[in-house]
Structure 1
């Protein structure tokens, strides 16, 4: 007997899919906001702070970027309670995602900052701008404009990485897919449906971030040209 697709059994549990989708989007949104801010802050500190602080930031970046996210997540969720820090699965997932994304954003923004020529900084100082004004308008803004496509791609990747959080029982999209598969025994249909949902999320986010980049760095402006040079 040939295999027969039965997507109806999966669609009948659309309430679980919707619940998982909302949890995924909530986790991803908070991770993008807080992880992005963490990365920008650490990249700025690395440029402005004493050498010792820069070394600590480098250690953080290398440690997180060169170890599996799943291992980091398990350490947070199962390891921290052993020293008295108890977290819910959702809290552990958010902290893990923020720490994970922050390391990548730090490195991406650092590369953008280092691409700003020293002569531009000197020109800003010669115009009697404060060091903070120079860093904000001449260094940081152009740096983010230049690396915006890379940041947007990383934000999409961390959204997809929320699927790993199912390993600590966060009821996001992948976990709900597992629940549906257990109830219906329709593995192929369940995971094809979920894969298409993730694809739709990724493509939608790419469009949204491209639009946000066009708003933050308008075409025709100096920052817009930098974004354009980066392939946005």
Structure 2
């Protein structure tokens, strides 16, 4: 039995695939930026907040890390309308991705914060810096430099996991591919192309993040 590959129908929809890929990148970048802000606040609360705050943050992390991402998406998209909050697929996807990556990034940043020696914090306070300044300049910056590789890996994972939001018809790459497949019935061809697009995106961002690390963090270390 032989299979006749026909990519013409796929390449005829190339513009739609590029639009889907762009939305995937935009959605992932937005979720990572917002999720990073959430993670920094949660990491700060977990390392130096009062006990009730630490308990709530720990509960949030455990719930998100021990439940499927797809269930979290369904809860936001299908569950919230029952309490009167109806969201578009793209907005629901963004919120779900922020909530998800925020929990994982919190633990990454917490580990970076705890890697900073307490003597550096005490020295900053002794110099008259306010606690927020100490956290911003003495704790957060070195911590982010330490966990930068882990955060970039988390972004790549988030971008690949964004394919799950096609389950609620968010117009990202996989959802566009599903629509094309339902029209052309060329499943093998369309998903081969989509696999290649995801692979290219992952490699491009990996190279970009490596270049940023060399230019920013590694250069800073060398100057020291």
Under a length normalisation based on structure 2, what TM-score does the superposition of the two structures give? 0.94
Q: Matches of 1:216 and 1:51 in 2, distance apart?
A: 36
Q: Matches of 2:220 and 2:137 in 1, distance apart?
A: 17
Q: Matches of 1:58 and 1:221 in 2, distance apart?
A: 33
Q: Matches of 2:48 and 2:220 in 1, distance apart?
A: 30
Q: Matches of 1:130 and 1:112 in 2, distance apart?
A: 21
| Structure 2: segments with no counterpart, 5+ residues | none
Q: Residue 154 of structure 1 aligns with which residue?
A: 154
Q: Residue 142 of structure 1 aligns with which residue?
A: 142
Q: Residue 67 of structure 2 aligns with which residue?
A: 67
User: 1:218, CA displacement in angstroms?
Assistant: 4.0
User: 1:166, CA displacement in angstroms?
Assistant: 0.5
| Structure 1: segments with no counterpart, 5+ residues | 226-232
What does the per-residue CA deviation read over 1:134-174, in whole Å, with 9 as the maximum and x for residues that have no partner?
A: 21122111111100000000011111111001000112111
What does the per-residue CA deviation read over 1:79-127, in whole Å, with 9 as the maximum and x for residues that have no partner?
A: 0000111111111001000000111111100011111111221222222
What root-mean-square deviation, in Å, do the aligned CA atoms of Structure 1 and Structure 2 show?
1.6
Q: Matches of 1:158 and 1:37 in 2, distance apart?
A: 16
Q: Matches of 1:202 and 1:166 in 2, distance apart?
A: 19
Q: Residue 48 of structure 1 aligns with which residue?
A: 48
Aligned length: 224
SS at match of 1:6: coil
Q: Residue 76 of structure 1 aligns with which residue?
A: 76
Under a length normalisation based on structure 1, what TM-score does the superposition of the two structures give? 0.91
Name the stretch that deviates more: 25-34 or 72-81. Answer: 25-34
User: 1:220, CA displacement in angstroms?
Assistant: 4.6
